Amino acid sequence: MPPWLSLLSSAQRKEAKFDSSNWIQLATIGTDNTPRVRTVVFRGWSKSLEMLIYSDNRSQKFDELAFNNNVEICWLFFKSKCQFRFRGMSTIDLSKEKLRHWDKLSEKSKSMWNWPCPGKHFVIDQLNDISFNAKQDISNNFAILKIEITQVDQLVLRKPVHIRRRWIRKNEWIEERINP
């Protein structure tokens, strides 16, 4: 188990009663080579400790990740006064594992994947056609991003001096204390 994971789990437990405790910011590089950042929902860890994020495969981030699959994720824990930044590479999970994750979603959440295409022009009439049939198979729009973490940076906001450390994955995780 990576040494930073217990610190992250501790911060998660302190924030568990807040809906926002699983909101993370995902940064990518746009196809025009400019940065993009958006809030997404942390969905857990794979067996090989890749970070899992559900997404609509019609969204712009998929073009961006095809262009450059390097990402950075920022996860702020307000109550803990702690921030984690994760660097890594993303892959799209096309395995049968997708169905297990799909089955965990509520019916209301599953209906999101039938919404009109993200980022396209809004047409009010399209909202009338949004529904989900529980007997329907998994949506073709549902995708799981897996982020293989290669570096973790933690900043703990303490007075009078903040604490910052970094873990870099070589064959094993190497930790170093760095200036805040």
In a domain, 117, yes or no: no
Q: What is d(CA 149, CA 168) in angstroms, rounded to the nearest whole number?
A: 9
pLDDT tens sequence across 108-138 = 888 888 888 888 888 877 666 565 555 568 8
In a domain, 27, yes or no: yes
**Below-50 pLDDT ranges, the chain:** none
Using left for φ > 0, alpha for ψ between -120 and 50, and beta otherwise, residue 102 falls in alpha
Using left for φ > 0, alpha for ψ between -120 and 50, and beta otherwise, residue 104 falls in alpha
- In this structure, what CATH number is given to the domain that contains residue 67? 2.30.110.10
In a domain, 132, yes or no: no
In a domain, 26, yes or no: yes
In a domain, 122, yes or no: no
In a domain, 37, yes or no: yes
In a domain, 124, yes or no: no
Q: What is d(CA 162, CA 154) in angstroms, rounded to the nearest whole number?
A: 10
What is the number of domains present in the chain? 1
- Residue 24 has what pLDDT? 98
Domain span holding position 31: 5-106+140-178
